[in-house]
Amino acid sequence: MGRTIPSANQYLIQEQESFSRFRRALRRSDQLALDELFAAARKHAAALSYASHALPFEVALLSMLLEEHKEVMRLRQLIEAQSHQENG
């Protein structure tokens, strides 16, 4: 039983490797941030696979954005809670 198409995880690893020249030319701090973006995409590998999108990198970008937005929401809630505490 072989698979014709690479799994979502394999695909993301390949995609990340294809950016290795781009990554190399980045500053160390930016490299770490880029790694985190790809890690964010890998968190949604199951959904990426299920989506069966013809251009999976679009789904990977959306996954990165999703994690970024979750972080924005978390920070927003934190700030709101803090200002609530200060005002209340």
Could you give the CA distance from residue 58 to residue 14 in angstroms, rounded to a whole number? 15
Of the pair 1, 25, the CB lying nearest other proteins is at 1
The crossing angle, in degrees rounded to 10, of helices 28-42 and 56-87 is: 100
CB of 84 to other proteins, least distance (A): 23
Of the pair 6, 83, the CB lying nearest other proteins is at 6
Measured CA to CA in angstroms, residue 31 lies from 16, 43, 58, 68, 75 at distances of 12, 19, 21, 17, 23
Under the rule (CB under 8 A), what is the footprint of other proteins? 1, 3-5, 7, 35-36, 39, 42-43, 45-46, 49-50, 52, 54
Q: Output the six-digit token pair for 80.
A: 């709101």
CB of 1 to other proteins, least distance (A): 5
Of the pair 5, 83, the CB lying nearest other proteins is at 5
